[in-house]
Amino acid sequence: MLNAVEVNNLTKRFKGRTAVDSLNFSIKKGEFFALLGQNGAGKTTTIRLLCCLLTPTSGDAVLLGDSIIENPTAVKQKLNVSPQETAVAPNLSVKENLELIAAIYGSNKQEAEVKANKMLTALGLSERARDKAKTLSGGMQRRLSIAMALISDPQIIFLDEPTIGLDVRARRELWKLIRELKGKITIILTTHYLEEAEALADKIGIMHYGKIRMLGSLDQIKEATGQKTLEDAFFMLTEKEVE
């Protein structure tokens, strides 16, 4: 099996509004896929569908051999997610947050502690291990959020706008962290920062009004649109409907 994700005619409608419209794409194992789009383009809804947080109106997606409709429990065991907003337990310490997620994904107490210690070291959180999560800065909370997504050893990780609201330094540090994951697991990133996709992604999907307008590597997108930059290509692919 070469593909980690296969999306087939995936559609989600909310009371007459089509948020995700007949998506078809695949993501290879170990690939870093960035889903770009303006606010309301359908990125987060797509992620929520693939994470089994929403049921599709029609279509399906298969993640590492399991359908999100027929076997969501098996799908959930293979993935983890770092949601768009802060998603930590505020009154638990940094280490306790990590141990909680490890235990929820099936680790016993000892395994959870070993994994938490490993993750604290790997993500530079050891010094704050005993601090309550609510006392961390925004950047550190995002770092913890990503650590919580990684601690279950997922085969696919979803990063939903991981750097939104962060300052330049915190964003650059998070990019470094994300870059280190490349090739080890399949990463699906949603962002509306174009430079983030340019810096990190193997494959980029540009989404607009629920549809994928262009799919390919950075060079393929520039070549297909005849534009010199991703930003120009993005505007070209998305401006018609804006007018």
Partner 1 sequence: MRFLAFSTRNRKELLRDPISLIFGIGLPVLLLLVISLIERSVSGMAEIFSIENFAPGIAMFSLSFIALFSGMLLANDRSSSFLARLFASPLAASDYLLGYSLPLLPIALVQSAVCFITAFFLGLSVSVNVLLTILVLIPVAILFIGIGLLLGSIFSNKQVSPICSIVVQVAALSSGMWFDLHQIGGAFKAVCYALPFAHAVDLAKITLAGGGFTAIYPHLLWVAGYAAVIFALAVRAFKKRMKA
- Residue 92 contacts partner 1 per CB under 8 A: yes
Residue 241 in the binding site for partner 1 (CB under 8 A): no
Q: Please, which of residues 156-215 interact with partner 1 by CB under 8 A? A: 158
- Which structure tokens are listed for 15? 């009371």
Rounded least distance, CB 52 to partner 1, Å: 7
Q: Which of 34, 61, 88, 237 binds partner 1 (CB under 8 A)?
A: 88
> Using the rule CB under 8 A, is 39 a contact of partner 1?
no
Asked if 20 and 45 touch (Cβ cutoff 8 Å), the reply is: yes
Which of 52, 64, 166, 174 contacts partner 1 by CB under 8 A? 52
Counting contacts by CB under 8 A, is residue 100 touching partner 1?
yes
Kindly give the pairing relationship between strand 3-14 and strand 58-63: antiparallel
As a three-state string, the secondary structure of 31-96 is CEEEEECCCCCCHHHHHHHHCCCCCCCEEEEEECCEECCCCHHHHHHHEEEECCCCCCCCCCEHHH
Considering only residues 146 through 165, tell me which ones interact with partner 1, judged by CB under 8 A. 148-149, 152, 158
- Interface residue with partner 1, options 57, 86, 227, 229 (CB under 8 A): 86
For partner 1, the closer of residues 137 and 217 by Cβ is: 137
User: Which CB sits closer to partner 1, 99 or 204?
Assistant: 99
At 212 the three-state DSSP class reads strand
Q: What is the DSSP string of 167-206?
A: -HHHHHHHHHHHHHHBTTBEEEEEES-HHHHHHH-SEEEE
If one asks whether residue 116 binds partner 1 (CB under 8 A), the answer comes out as no
Measured between alpha carbons, how far is 37 from 46 in angstroms, rounded to an integer? Answer: 12
Interface stretch with partner 1, choices 57-65, 75-83, 216-224, 228-236 (CB under 8 A): 75-83
Helix (H) or strand (E) holding 224: helix 218-225
Integer Cα distance of 30 and 4 in angstroms:
8
Our finding on whether 114 is near partner 1 (CB under 8 A) is no
Please state the closest distance from residue 91 (CB atom) to partner 1, in A: 4
Tokens describing residue 51: 């994470």
Applying CB under 8 A, the span of 95-103, 117-125, 176-184, 214-222 interacting with partner 1 comes to: 95-103
Give the three-class secondary structure for 20: strand
Chain residues that interact with partner 1, rule: CB under 8 A: 51-55, 73, 76-77, 79-92, 96, 100-101, 103-106, 132, 145, 148-149, 152, 158
